[in-house]
Structure formats: C-alpha cells, structure tokens
Structure 1
Amino acid sequence: MTETFETSSVPDERNAWRGRPALQQPKYEDYQELNQVTSDLKTRPPLVFAGEVDKLSRSLAAAAEGKSFILTGGDCAETFVGSTADKIRAKIQTILQMSVVISYGASMPVVKIGRIAGQYSKPRSADLETRNGISLPSYRGDAVNGFGFTAEERRPDPHRLMEMYQRSATSLNLIRAFTRGGYADLRQVHNWNRGFTDNPAYARYENLAGEIDRALRFMEAVGSDFEAISFVDLYSAHEALLLEYEDAMTRVDSRTGDLYNTSAHYLWIGERTRQLDGAHVQQCASVRNPIGVKLGPTATAEDVIALSKVINPNNEIGRLSLITRMGAKQIYERLPQLVREVKAAGIPVLWICDPMHGNTVTSGTGYKTRRFDDIMNEVAAFFEIVVNEGAIPGGIHVELTGDDVTEVLGGAEELTEDALADNYETLVDPRLNHQQSLELAFLVAQMLGKC
C-alpha cells in the first residue's frame, strides 16, 4: 500500500507540547521569520516513512527480548560542511564493519542506526559563551547558528532549519543508495579495510574478516541465496531537540491516522530535556516513532516509571529505550538499583549503554576529550550489571566517525594528550575514530558471547 501523509488535519495531541516548559531552545530575533520557515517545512516531503518506522519498532522489540542487538553510532553533531559523500560513506562503513564484528562474534542480528541525517543540533550547558570579556550565544549546532565567534555567526537563524532538512534529505538518499546498491554486501567485507597496518586491533579485524570471507565463499559454493545479505537496513536517528522543526516534520499516516515524526526513524530525549512536564517529553509521546530517553547518574526508577506512563502508556515492547550515560566512575553505584527497580515495576524497556557522555574530561593541553579505557570500562560494567540484575543488555549508543581523527585518548594506537592536536575536528564532543570503533565492537561481541 502506498503511504501518504496529511498536514491539514491533525489530532489535538500534536499541539499538546505547546505552552509547556521548553528548555534548550534557540532565542530567535524574528519569530515571524521562524513561522515562515516551518510553514514551508510542513509542505515538504517526509524524510522517512511510517512503514520504515514500524519495521524498526519491531526490531527494537526483538532487541528488548535478547533476539538482536542495537548499534547506534555517528557524529556528536553533524555539520553542513561535513555532510559530504566521502564522510557519510566512511561513517556508514564504520557502522557496517562494527555490526559485522558484533553479529559474527556474538551470533546475533545487529540493528544498525546512524546518528546521521538530522543530528545537527546540541544542547549546551550555558546560553552564552564568553571569550576575552565578550559574551555571545553558545554554538548550538549548525541547525541553529554558526561556530565562528562573531555576533553574526552566533545569531540563531531559522533558515538553517531548512538547510538541515535539505542536508538530511541528501544524506538519506546517499545512505539508501549505499545500503541498497551493493556497498553493504557482506561478500565485500574483505575489501572494507581502510589501510590500517601493524596494530593489534586491525590484525584482529583482518582475521575475523577472513573467517567471514571463507564462510561466505562456502555458502556461495553450495548454492546459497545471497539476496538477503546483499543489502541492509540502516535507520536514521537524532535527538528531538528543536521543537519547531520536529513539529513541522510530524505528519498523519493515512493508513492509521497516527502521528509520525518523519524527520527520522528513531528519536531520543536528552538528559537535559527529559522533564516529565516538559515540551520534549510531550511532543515525543504524541508520535509513533520509537523513543529513547538519556539517563544520567541522577535518574531514578520513579523518573523512568513516570516517563513510561507518558511515553508508553500501553506498555508496548520496543517503544521505550533507556539510554544510560552514567560514567565509568559512577555506573556501579547508580545503575544496579535503577535496573532492579525498573524490572520490578514490570515496565517493558530496552536497555542501551551510552559510554561517551559520562566520561568527558579536559586534557592537560586544553582539549575536551574522553579516555578510551573509560569508555570500554563503562560498556563492560553495563553488560555485567544489566545481566546480574536479570535484564537484557540491548545495545550501545556511541559518538564516532569514519575518519582518522585524534579526539579520544588511548586505544591500540595509544593516542596521547600531545597527539590530540594532530587531527582534532569535532566542534562539540570528542568521537571515536575508525579504529577505536572497531576495538569497541570486539569488546561488545565478547560481552554478548558471555550473556
């Protein structure tokens, strides 16, 4: 059945978020200009479709039952200048390589989700940034303002929302071409390397790639049908932060009359915007997309139970993901009780680990960074705790790039503080590079193999 979306007739719940506390929103100079942009956005074609969203929801439900595993990865904050074919392809390749390592090592399907095609905004800890006595609005991502420290660059510009839409559309088109046009064919896995040599992580991947290649050649020799492995589904995700943009991309599905946010398949609510009475929770509750909620060390089971009643009142498995971001130093103290009490409440949730955001530090050379050992330790602790509490570790959510950046300390290449300056590109948070991402995938495969 062909899907269509309507914007002229929408249920009352679509506007229920208006009038509620709305944190982390840009302060536009001209809201009439903003309304003109969002009115235009409402007439634009959807970026994703209801059937795709429903398919992902079923996959998330399987992960919550331990039948698959969720891998979410991509930029901390996408940039317009960085939305090139080469950079998108490199991110896709990294996610696909990680998924092969995890799936083969753990004998489990991996659901692939990219922080791609919409992750152009970020919450900030302060509204203003001050340099040399001059205060300007903080950089909130390319969807809001520019990174350059000038009054013009930092002015929130609503026309950037349209630019985000256009960039997201072209990115999704490229993703579909790559994942459906043969690039993701597992038979090509032995050609996916990026030229790494003489380091342990790459050697391990090469060995595994060789095993997969031999298995595939055997399957081909006995006449297996390879259509199922010649393409993959790669879903898009971003933080549902900019309320006016998300509202403009919300449409009515003609099949069911339900609301779907067509800006991405999967959306999450950040730690800073998960207030029960807040606009972000209400807006996400109104759509049929699967929803994630980031939970920091202050989160309680009472918070989760209350959020579940709003976001998932029918207790649909796969509807609500809990993305924990405790930090390696606090996870053993904070997570066990949370998992235990949520499980006791009988709430169907999907547990996912974000090992990035709780482990941010400032290097002695002044760079915002993370230690790879902290990231690995939090993932290992997450698996241990969730399993010990009788729940299912369902996924990881990481900030990564396919490029050879120097933003996270450590790893097989033993990146030092002095080396951070070599290729530090991120405008907000530090990301795993290609090799570090593969190292993490090996750890996850090992952890899953023990579950």
Structure 2
Amino acid sequence: MLPLTGEAAAHWRTLVAHQRPEWPSMAELGDVVDHLAALPPLVMPQECDTLAARLAQAAEGKAFLLQGGDCAERFDRLSTRAIHSKLRLLHQMAVILAYASAVPVVKVGRLAGQYAKPRSRPTETVAGRTLPVYRGDAVNGIGFSQAERLPDPARLLRMYDASRYTLDVMRAFARGGTDPRQLHKRNQDFVSRSPAGERYEELAGRIGRALSTKNARGGDASHTTELFASHEGLLLDYEAALTRRDPRSGRRYAGSGHMLWIGDRTRQLDGAHVAYFATIDNPIAVKLGPATTPEQALALIDRLDPDRRPGRLTFIVRMGAHRVRYVLPELVEKVTAAGAPVLWVCDPMHGNTVEAPSGHKTRRFDDILAEVAGFFEVHKAFGTHAGGLHIELTGEDVTECVGGGAELGFADLHRSYESACDPRLNGDQALDLTFLVAEMFNPGASGAGAPDAVVNAAPREARHGNSPASSGT
C-alpha cells in the first residue's frame, strides 16, 4: 500500500484539531510521524471492505453490531490472557444476541488502538497541584507527576507496537474458531451463579435447544470467526501517518484499524477530524450526544458519506437515559426521511456517568439498561432498525459500575476499580445486560430461523474460512 499524499491528505492540517495534545517538541513529533509512515499498515483494505459489507447488512436490519472493549487500553495491561478474556466475552454476548435477534452478530472490538482519550479539561488539580490531564497511554502517563504527564511523541510508536500485538492475538483467536456450544456452556455457568439467573433460565434453555437442534441437523458449530478492531481516531498525526492508498483501487484507507470513529467532542463540521475522515474509505462512525441537531447530523452525512454507501457511516448515539426518548426521535425521523443508509448504534455508557460519594466516576446499571430500552423504543416507533450496541466492558472482575445482578453498590467501587479513565461493565454485568437486551427484541424473532442465527454468527464465506479479517496482514 502506498502512503497518502496530495492536497486532500493535508487539508485537515489547516484546520483546528480539537483535543490535539500540546506536544513539547514538534520536531520530535515529526520524526515519529516519519517513522510511522514507513511502517506497514496494521489492517488491510480487504478487511475494511468486509466490515463495511457486514455493517451494510446491519443497517438493513439483516445483522446486529456488537462493539465493545476497554475505555482506554493500557500498555502495562497488554497480555494475551486479557485480550482473550474480552474476546470470549464478546462472543458469549453474541450468542445470546444472535438468538434473540435471529440475525448474525458482527463483532467489533474496542481494541488495538484505543490508547487516546478526549478530555473535558486540559489539566487536573490534586492537593493543590495542577498538571496536564491524562490523555491515554498514547500521549502521557497516568501517574500524577510532571514527568509522567508530559506528552511524549515516542508513545505513538508504542501504540503501534501494542496495537499490532493485539491484532496478532485477535487473528490467531479468529483462526482457532469458536464453538457456540462451549460459549453457551459459559453462559449457563453465569446463569447458575447469578443472583438474577432465574430470570434468564428460560431464554438460556431456548438457546441450548436451538444449538442442539442445529447440531442434530449436522451443522458444524465450530467455524472461523470474523473479528474486527476499532478505536476513536483522535490523534490525527498518528492516523494520517498510517493512512495508505490501495494501489489496486486507488482508494485511501486508515491503516490503524478496521473502523474508526469521531467523538462527540471532535465532530465539528469545520474541524480537522471531519476533514480527515472524509478522505478515508474505511467504515467510520460518529458519536452523537444530546446536543446534536438534525441539521448537524444531515451535514455530517453530506460531508462523510456523500455517495450514500451502505456500511460507510454509523451513528453511535449517546444521549443519556433521561434524554434518549426526547432527543433521538427527531434525529431518526429526519435522517430516515433523507434516505441516508446510516447504521444506528446505542452507546448507553457515556451519557450516564455519575460521581460516587467516594469520588469515583461510575455508571448505574439501571441507567445503562434504560438508555438501551429507550433506543429500542424509538426505533420501534419509527419502524427503523436498532442496529447495535457500543459498550465499555472488560472480562475482568472489576468493580467500576454499580448495580447489575450482583447489585454492586458505591461501597464496592474501591475493591477493584482499575479503569484508567471511565468505568466499564465487568463480565457478569455485561452478560446481565445482554440477557436483558435480548428481551427487547421482537419475541417473534426467537422463532424460526433463530437456531441458524446462533450458529451462523458470521456470513457464509467467513464460516468457510475465507474471511479477510481472519487472515494475517
């Protein structure tokens, strides 16, 4: 793949890039960018195109997107075990959602590049001392010292290496395949130990019978699994350095991940992020907060998807439990009337952050569930497709969000609060949420065809081992 050059590639540099770190040495940043530009891309165009095709199916109501992972990845937490833990959790959730929705579930990790975070303030003050805010391991360190908090361009190279390692682990995991029956066994183990498990037993039983029926018909439950990686494309110096032109098609791709998104803080129509994203051909997303107007949403579509390509653009809405039913309807109505083939996805995490008495940032499980319920209700009212979930989660037994079947409270947060930034659902809370979301689908979707949806969680070519995303780069 060829480096991207020309005026289109450089236009974003003439605009304001919100949330850009104050790098202490632009010369050092330039050296790092040049180094990155000479390295191989982390993902390939065929993989990105495959994901775009899957997302197009989701936008049409023929698939469902499950996107999840850490709020902010950490260099010092990078391990095969931790990556596998998150991937297994996503697969367990996918088995439940595939049965409930009766369509394949597209699995996209919030992984392999989620090392930078937008922040509401540039500094933070502790015990009267003010330092630059932590912006993710790609920028600075989490330790509260001047040396740690100084932005360091060399961290962008560590981000590349860590992302490459994660993608290698993901590809190996995908090549190994998954057996839905084993995933269901894990879900049954969760149901048996969960304080709320009695509520889930009936659905778990139906999923088990569906898998048994498929196996009795001679279906092969073990297959190559499609996995994709996504992150917020916040650091444009990094993203642009890894952008390449495909010599076969002439199209331009961000080589840092299969899918990138623009955050709610950086979606300015005249800003650098929108300008850069308009130049790449990956599937992309935009986070829409409660201040988003229909006019802004339509303008974003015109800028980022002028050709109205299905699978190109996803809107990830993050309104908050108490606002989603009031703000989302007009957006859905106006975008649908414009004929734009966007995929609507619910992020029930970022609009529901509260501060516990201890000072910990946390989220109430009931608020997360309520926002998903409102998202589904709005789409049902308009006859449109509730196309996916975007969840901050971990397979580890952390105590960062309150509520869920185990009824974690504010007093439990100190036990295992490990997030570098925002609170994540732990594995049990994520499965609690998945079983409850499964009840929101049309009950008729759990009838004929559901067994195939559970087993065939990837389209046909992926089941036969021909998925670009499961091959090496």
Q: TM-score range by the shorter chain?
A: over 0.9
Structure 2 match to 1:373: 366
Correspondence 1:279 to 2:272: yes
1:306 aligns with 2:302: no
Deviation at residue 67 of structure 1 after TM alignment: 0.5
1:396 maps onto 2:389 in alignment: yes
Measured on the aligned residues, the alpha-carbon RMSD in Å equals 1.8
Report the counterpart of residue 22 of structure 1 in structure 2: 17
User: Which residues of structure 1 form unaligned runs of 5+?
Assistant: none
Return the alpha-carbon distance in structure 2 between the equivalents of residues 74 and 284 of structure 1.
22
Mapped partners of 2:30, 2:12: distance in 1:
17
Q: Which residue of 1 aligns with 2:2?
A: 6
- Aligned twin of 1:39: 34
Q: How many residues in Structure 1 have an aligned counterpart in Structure 2?
A: 443
Instruction: Tell me the amino acid that sits aligned with residue 295 of structure 1.
Output: L
Mark the CA change 1:83 to 1:311 in structure 2 (over 3 Å): closer, same or farther: same
The answer to whether residue 158 in structure 2 is matched with residue 151 in structure 1 is no
The code of the aligned residue for 1:188 comes to Q
Structure 1 window deviating more from structure 2 (344-353 vs 90-99): it is 344-353
**Aligned 8 A contact 2:91 2:183 in 1:** no
Structure 2: distance between partners of 1:97 and 1:154: 38
Q: 1:146, 1:127 → 2: CA distance?
A: 14
> Residues of 1 paired with 2:302 and 2:217: CA distance?
51
| 1:29-60 alpha-carbon deviations (Å, 9 max, x no partner) | 11111111111111111111100100110111
Amino acid at match of 2:425: L
Match of 1:84 among 59, 73, 79: 79
Aligned-partner Cα distance in 2 for 1:223–1:64: 31
Question: Which residue of structure 2 aligns with residue 442 of structure 1?
Answer: 435
- Choose which of 46, 51, 61 in structure 2 pairs with 1:51: 46
Alignment of 1:337-348 (within 5 A): 337-348=330-341
SS in 2 for 1:396: strand
d(CA) in 1 for partners of 2:217 and 2:386? 36
Asked whether 1:421 is paired with 2:414, we answer yes
Contact 1:289 1:319 in 2 (8 A): yes
Residue 177 (1) aligns with residue 150 (2): no
Of the two structures, which has the highest relative contact order with CA contacts closer than 8 Å and spacing of 6 or more? 2
The answer to whether structure 1 residue 95 and structure 2 residue 90 are counterparts is yes
Q: Which of the numbers 168, 183, 186 marks the counterpart of 2:180?
A: 186
User: Which SS does the other structure have where 2:419 is aligned?
Assistant: coil
Which residue of the partner structure matches residue 156 of structure 2?
Answer: 161
1:392, 1:220 → 2: CA distance? 30
Amino acid at match of 2:86: K
- Please, which of 228, 232, 249 is the counterpart of residue 242 of structure 2? 249
Distance 2:377 2:335 in 1: 17
Q: Distance in 2 between matches of 1:64 and 1:364?
A: 41
Q: What is the CA-CA distance between 1:11 and the residue it aligns to? A: 4.5
**Deviation for aligned residue 1:338:** 1.6
Range that drifts further, 12-21 or 426-435: 12-21
More moved, 113-122 vs 316-325: 316-325
Shift of 1:225: 4.3
Q: For 1:180 and 1:203, how far apart are their aligned partners in 2?
A: 35
CA shift in 2, pair 1:389/1:210, >3 Å: closer
Report the alpha carbon displacement of residue 446 of structure 1 after superposing the two structures with TM.
1.9
Contact 1:77 1:120 in 2 (8 A): yes
What is the SS of the residue equivalent to 1:358?
coil
Question: In 2, are the aligned partners of 1:145 and 1:154 still within 8 Å (CA)?
Answer: yes
Would the alpha carbon gap of residues 136 and 392 (structure 1) be closer, same or farther in structure 2, given more than 3 Å must change? same
1:209, distance to aligned residue in structure 2 (A): 5.6
Q: Is the 8 A contact 2:188 2:204 kept in 1?
A: no
- Counterpart CA distance in 1 for 2:201 and 2:81 is 23
Structure 2 Cα separation of the partners of residues 263 and 113 of structure 1: 14
Alpha-carbon shift at residue 345 of structure 1 (Å): 2.2
* Distance (Å, rounded) in 2 between the aligned partners of 1:203 and 1:96: 22
Aligned pairs for 1:203-242 within 5 A: 211-226=206-221, 229-242=222-235
* Counterpart Cα distance in 2 of 1:216 and 1:156: 51
Q: Does 1:355 align with 2:348?
A: yes
SS in structure 2 opposite 1:326?
coil
Aligned residue number for residue 65 of structure 1: 60
Contact 1:189 1:213 in 2 (8 A): no
Amino acid at match of 1:68: A
Report the CA distance between 1:222 and its aligned residue: 4.1
Output the CA distance in 1 between the equivalents of 2:291 and 2:21: 26
Compared CA separation, residues 79 and 409, structure 1 to 2 (3 A): same
Structure 2 Cα separation of the partners of residues 340 and 215 of structure 1 = 36
Deviates more, 1:435-444 or 1:238-247: 435-444
CA contact (8 A) 1:118 1:238 kept: yes
Equivalent position to 1:383, from 358, 376, 379:
376
For structure 2, list consecutive stretches of 5 or more residues without a partner in the other structure.
446-473
User: Are 2:426 and 1:433 equivalent residues in the alignment?
Assistant: yes
Residue type at the aligned position of 2:333: R
Q: 1:25 to 1:209 in 2, by over 3 A?
A: same
Q: Is the 8 A contact 1:201 1:435 kept in 2?
A: no
Q: CA deviation at 1:319?
A: 1.0
Q: CA separation of 1:194/1:368 partners in 2, compared to 1, >3 Å: closer, same or farther?
A: farther
What do residues 274-324 of structure 1 show as CA deviations (whole Å, max 9, x unaligned)? 000100011111000111111111101100111111100111122111111
CA spacing shift, 1:215–1:336, aligned 2, 3 Å: closer
Q: Which amino acid aligns with 1:192?
A: R
Residue among 130, 134, 149 paired with 1:135: 130
1:259 aligns with 2:252: yes
Distance in 2 of aligned mates of 1:37 and 1:210:
54
CA distance in 1, matches of 2:364, 2:214: 41
Describe the SS at the equivalent of 1:361.
strand
Structure 1 stretch displaced more, 437-446 or 359-368:
437-446
The 3-state SS of whatever aligns with 1:317 is coil
Report the CA distance between 1:427 and its aligned residue: 1.4
Stretch moving more, 137-146 or 335-344: 335-344
